[in-house]
A and B are shown apart, each in its own frame.
Chain A
Amino acid sequence: MNCRRWLIPILALLVTSATALAVEKSIILQSTTSTANSGLYDHLLPIFTEKSGITVHVVAVGTGQAIKNAQNGDGDVLLVHARSAEEAFVAEGYGVERFDVMYNDFIVVGPPTDPAKVNGMKDTAAALRMIADAGVPFASRGDNSGTHKKEVALWQRAGVDVASASGSWYRETGSGMGATLNVAVGMGAYALTDRGTWISFKNKGDYVIAVEGSDDLFNQYGVILVDPDRHPRVKAVEGQAFIDWILGAEGQAAIATYTLGGQQLFFPNAK
């Protein structure tokens, strides 16, 4: 087999695929699985692209990884949900400025048999303590994502040391929201999830929402332009155009009109 004559077409292929990208106006948005999996971007981005001519490529990973990728300059805009980590990102000079974009809320979901007797509770900390005391399995993201950070903070507030229970009733999946919900449903565990992912999630089985509606389950999303002074290859003009649009009247209205099964998933709250 002589592979040498194939080399030229391959190299041509490599070169064309690289240049094809350079021609079209596009930005890379480092974002979270919760926003992407809910279908929000499939609703929002075509509207923005239509108006601006800028294509937005979404890399959907956990908030921790999204922030790390943006720190490396591998993205132009960051849209995630972990306020303190976002503020640290800006303070350390990786991002220009952080803006509130939208919110939804977290919920605790669990099996319909409700072995920890927490269904319908409004006090998240108390509910988590009851899950811990009953030793009922709880599936955690365990991946340093925005949802995971929120969950860790909630356990702290509840005064439960989950690190010592890791591997027994507290089970860290180390994977994304959907994968963790698959695990939770599979093992009859409780789990913390954002409402958007839950509404769009298709493998719910007979799972129900156990805890919702308390103030400490608020889930704020923020948007940040990666600092072009730090990473000169950041497409600052196009990135800023996207941020201006999503914070403006049109982008905010587009967020509000996205529904799934008749339910609104995200609530715009840019100032």
Chain B
Amino acid sequence: MQDFAESFSLAFGLVLAADADLLEIIGLSLRVSLSAVLISCALGLPLGAAVAMGHFPGRHALIVLLNALMGLPPVVVGLLVYLMLSNAGPFGWLQLLYTPTAMIIAQSILITPIVAALSREVLEQLHDEYDEQFRSLCLPPHIAVAALLWDARYSLLTVALAGFGRAIAEVGAVIIVGGNIAHLTRVMTTAIALETSKGDLALALALGIVLITMALSVNAAVMGLRASAARQAYA
């Protein structure tokens, strides 16, 4: 199992050399997945809040559906987005297939249910706590939603990180809609799949180590921000 030792030294060497190709791939991975997280938050948080606070028929069915959609298989999402964006599909005229935008769309579809379902859980618990107070103050719903989102912001940050983790790690969707084109749509996971298929397992694992380190850095940065924000809030 000398692959492991070799991979660690390779990963180290790759990062130290700041290889231009690698930096480009890391940059695109972050750009695609962070964009997808932001879009998913813009869509998923209001949806989660609406389901958490609302009383409407079919609410329970919607919760079950959202929870189930957290397990959307990336390869199926990739296939659906491919069929939509293909020149033979309804949105072919947008000419988005094999672009980073297509990858952002696919990952957004993948993680919006995660953000919606988890934020629903968080917000519902908080809402149960605040409900009487909201009613005694006669708050209009949009103010109440804003207050809930604000007070739950740290938990929701973890929700966003869960979505980011899913997005940065998936390969099934981006390889179909992005095509793993060098210098255009190649991200960390598709590069790892490519090196594995070339039989260069040491390099593939080295890229994997870099990917995990990237995910760690993003999580650490967010948690660091959160901690300093919390200190300011209570100072």
Listed in ascending order, the chain A residues whose CB lies under 8 Å from chain B are 1-4, 6-7, 10, 13-14, 17-18, 21-22, 28, 33, 37, 42, 57-60, 69, 71-74, 175-179, 181-182, 200-204, 231, 233
From A1, A73, A178, A233, residue with most partner B Cβ within 10 Å: A1
Cα separation A57 to B102 with both chains bound (whole Å): 15
Q: Assess whether B100 is interfacial by the CB under 8 Å rule.
A: yes
Cα separation A202 to B205 with both chains bound (whole Å): 14
Q: Indicate if the CB atoms of A57 and B199 lie closer than 8 Å.
A: no
- Closest CB pairs A-B (n = 10): A178-B197, A203-B199, A73-B87, A72-B88, A59-B179, A3-B42, A202-B199, A201-B199, A3-B41, A202-B200
The secondary structure that dominates the B interface is helix
Given A37-B198, A57-B184, A233-B87, CB of A10 within 8 Å of CB of B35: yes
Min CB–CB distance A198 → chain B (angstroms): 10
- Contacts between chains A and B (CB distance < 8 A), count: 103
Residues of A within 8 A of B160 (CB): 1
Residues of B within 8 A of A73 (CB): 86-88, 92
Residues of B within 8 A of A6 (CB): 38, 41-42
Residues 36-64 of chain B: 1 if any A CB is under 8 Å from the residue's CB, otherwise 0? 00110110010000000000000000000
The residue on B at minimum CB distance from A234 is: B87
Min CB–CB distance A48 → chain B (angstroms): 14
Q: Indicate if the CB atoms of B198 and A1 lie closer than 8 Å.
A: no
Residues of A within 8 A of B77 (CB): none
Residues of B within 8 A of A202 (CB): 198-201
Q: Indicate if the CB atoms of B42 and A57 lie closer than 8 Å.
A: no
Q: Indicate if the CB atoms of A59 and B88 lie closer than 8 Å.
A: no
Min CB–CB distance A78 → chain B (angstroms): 14
Partner of A14, one of B101, B149, B196: B101
Cα separation A10 to B96 with both chains bound (whole Å): 16
Q: Assess whether B7 is interfacial by the CB under 8 Å rule.
A: no
Min CB–CB distance A175 → chain B (angstroms): 8
Q: 12 new A-B pairs (CB below 8 Å) besides A14-B35, A59-B98?
A: A1-B149, A3-B45, A6-B42, A18-B99, A21-B95, A28-B98, A37-B194, A37-B198, A74-B98, A178-B198, A203-B200, A203-B201
Sample 7 A-B pairs with CB under 8 A, ordered by A number.
A1-B156, A10-B42, A13-B35, A37-B198, A58-B181, A59-B180, A60-B180
Min CB–CB distance B138 → chain A (angstroms): 24
Residues of A within 8 A of B97 (CB): 74
Q: Indicate if the CB atoms of A10 and B39 lie closer than 8 Å.
A: yes
Q: Indicate if the CB atoms of B45 and A1 lie closer than 8 Å.
A: yes
Residues of B within 8 A of A175 (CB): 197
Q: Indicate if the CB atoms of A1 and B41 lie closer than 8 Å.
A: yes
The residue on A at minimum CB distance from B35 is: A10
Given A73-B92, A178-B197, CB of A231 within 8 Å of CB of B101: no
Min CB–CB distance B47 → chain A (angstroms): 12
Partner of B199, one of A18, A71, A181: A181
Cα separation A6 to B99 with both chains bound (whole Å): 21
Q: Assess whether B147 is interfacial by the CB under 8 Å rule.
A: no
Residues of B within 8 A of A37 (CB): 194, 197-198
Q: Indicate if the CB atoms of B95 and A72 lie closer than 8 Å.
A: no
Partner of A182, one of B98, B100, B157, B199: B199
Q: Assess whether B182 is interfacial by the CB under 8 Å rule.
A: yes
Partner of B197, one of A13, A33, A58, A71: A33
Min CB–CB distance B155 → chain A (angstroms): 10
The residue on B at minimum CB distance from A180 is: B197
Min CB–CB distance A197 → chain B (angstroms): 9
Residues of A within 8 A of B41 (CB): 1, 3, 6
Min CB–CB distance B133 → chain A (angstroms): 22
Given A7-B42, A59-B181, CB of A201 within 8 Å of CB of B156: no
Residues of B within 8 A of A182 (CB): 196-197, 199, 201
Min CB–CB distance A120 → chain B (angstroms): 24
Cα separation A202 to B179 with both chains bound (whole Å): 23
The residue on B at minimum CB distance from A45 is: B182
Q: Assess whether B117 is interfacial by the CB under 8 Å rule.
A: no
Q: Indicate if the CB atoms of B196 and A57 lie closer than 8 Å.
A: no
Given A74-B97, A179-B196, CB of A14 within 8 Å of CB of B104: yes
Min CB–CB distance A86 → chain B (angstroms): 19
Q: Indicate if the CB atoms of B92 and A233 lie closer than 8 Å.
A: yes
Q: Indicate if the CB atoms of B197 and A179 lie closer than 8 Å.
A: yes
Min CB–CB distance B205 → chain A (angstroms): 12
The residue on A at minimum CB distance from B82 is: A74
